[in-house]
């Protein structure tokens, strides 16, 4: 069996685990742990408090610092309300295309990494290779945010991380952060004929959104001149505003779901400080003048740091050597890469498949893309063989 055929077989087994972020992933993590251990890896599984979610950390090669991390997330987005022409949880091959939920985002890279494990184990490596497979990347990088401090507590200090998100094997050296919030407004219901006797939660939510849109314009003028991002400024998006029950009822509840994608450090704090001032000095006093129980709370759904482009980047230089691609790019979507950069690693995002296929019905990855990934990993193996 060729490495490509082995990768396809492994990918089929991974796709058969429907690891939507809302569901447990521990069965898939245990399956991958067994495969890696059978290949000679030293594996540790980190379960969360519920026991249903887990991260995997595996190592092949010598103990010590300076290792290379191959990183991927095990969770996938839902298929509900999508029009699939095939079973999303069974790998389907049509010519050179492999269909199934998670094929490109990002179980294809994970399958290629697992297929390479026996090759890494068969060599005397100068530096360790680490396998890092996490949970709940799609909903705020929750798994990686839990794993990073656990690795730091154990004194694990890799030097390079390759995050295998789908980039069609292009080298990505930077992306914005992603911060997601839900603001909840509690007012006072009443009859629509006497609006001054109630606290209209929707109207206060609208004032909150109006300030968000003002801040979105202000952020355009804060963008650094030399930023590589498109657009160069920190963006704000309001994804949902809901509230109210009928035309003639003062709404007592409202919610605003919104996000921002910081292009530079400091912008996120600027936005949060401006909103806190609005809430504490304007909205809440007006609401509580009518009802002392009125309130505004904000839930942090996720705050994921961006990947900052660096002049000196050993990961970028390594992957350039492995792929022969001298270009490096930035992307608008977020990944776990910034969390690894925060540990002191050099990081790039580079993996098989196209982000254009991610999250869609009939998601697929091509076998040539998987082969290109395997070629890169074989190059990594050769570069790590002890002299």
Q: Which residues are catalytic?
A: 75, 137
Widest distance between CA atoms in the chain: 84
Alpha-carbon gap, residue 133 to 131, rounded angstroms: 7
Q: What are the CA-CA distances from residue 338 to residues 5, 141, 302 (Å)? A: 33, 10, 14
In the numeric block, which tokens belong to residue 31?
């399956």
Give the 3-state secondary structure of 148-209.
HHHHHHCCCCCCEEEECCCCCCCCEEEECCEEEEEEEEECECEECCCHHHCECHHHHHHHHH
Burial of 239 (0-12, 13-18, 19+ CB in 10 A): exposed
Q: What are the CA-CA distances from residue 194 to residues 45, 203, 254, 368 (Å)? A: 59, 15, 19, 67
Long-range CB contacts for residues 285-293, cutoff 8 Å, separation at least 24: 286/204, 287/187, 287/199, 287/204, 290/188, 290/196, 290/197, 290/198, 290/199, 291/187, 291/188, 291/198, 291/199, 293/186, 293/188
CA pseudo-torsion sign 158, 7, 9, 137: positive
Question: Angle formed by the axes of helices 367-384 and 314-323, to 10°?
Answer: 110
In the numeric block, which tokens belong to residue 176?
């914005």
Contacts of 244 (CB under 8 A, 6+ apart): 202, 251, 254
Start-to-end CA distance of the chain, whole Å, equals 29
């Amino acid at each position: 069996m060729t490495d490509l055929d082995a990768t396809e077989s492994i990918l089929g087994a991974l796709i058969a685990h429907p690891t939507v972020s809302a569901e447990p992933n521990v069965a898939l993590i245990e399956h991958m742990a067994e495969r890696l251990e059978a290949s000679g890896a030293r594996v540790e599984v980190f379960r969360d408090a519920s026991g249903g979610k887990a991260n995997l950390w595996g190592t092949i090669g010598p103990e010590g610092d300076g290792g290379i991390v191959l990183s991927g997330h095990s969770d996938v987005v839902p298929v509900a309300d999508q029009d699939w022409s095939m079973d999303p949880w069974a790998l389907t091959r049509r010519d050179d295309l492999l269909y199934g939920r998670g094929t490109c985002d990002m179980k294809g890279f994970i399958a290629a990494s697992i297929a390479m494990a026996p090759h890494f184990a068969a060599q005397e490596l100068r530096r360790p290779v680490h396998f890092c497979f996490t949970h709940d990347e799609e909903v705020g990088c929750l798994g990686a945010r839990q794993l990073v401090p656990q690795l730091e507590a154990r004194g694990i200090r890799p030097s390079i991380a390759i995050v295998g998100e789908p980039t069609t094997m292009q080298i990505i050296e930077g992306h914005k952060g992603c911060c997601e919030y839900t603001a909840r407004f509690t007012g006072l219901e009443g009859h629509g004929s006497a609006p001054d006797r109630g606290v209209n939660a929707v109207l206060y939510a609208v004032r909150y959104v109006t300030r968000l849109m003002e801040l979105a314009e202000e952020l355009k003028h804060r963008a650094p001149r030399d930023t590589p991002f498109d657009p160069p400024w920190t963006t704000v998006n309001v994804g949902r505003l809901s509230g109210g029950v009928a035309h003639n009822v003062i709404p007592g509840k409202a919610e605003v779901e919104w996000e921002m994608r910081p292009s530079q450090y400091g912008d996120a704090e600027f936005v949060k400080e401006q909103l806190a001032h609005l809430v504490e000095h304007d909205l809440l006093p007006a609401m509580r003048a009518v009802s002392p129980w009125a309130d505004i709370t904000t839930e942090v759904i996720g705050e994921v740091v961006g990947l900052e482009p660096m002049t000196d980047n050993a990961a970028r230089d390594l992957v350039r050597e492995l792929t022969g691609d001298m270009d490096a790019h930035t992307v608008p979507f977020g990944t776990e890469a910034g969390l690894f950069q925060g540990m002191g690693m050099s990081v790039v995002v580079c993996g098989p498949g196209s982000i254009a296929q991610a999250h869609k019905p009939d998601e697929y990855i091509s076998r040539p893309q998987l082969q290109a990934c395997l070629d890169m990993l074989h190059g990594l193996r050769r570069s790590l063989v002890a002299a």
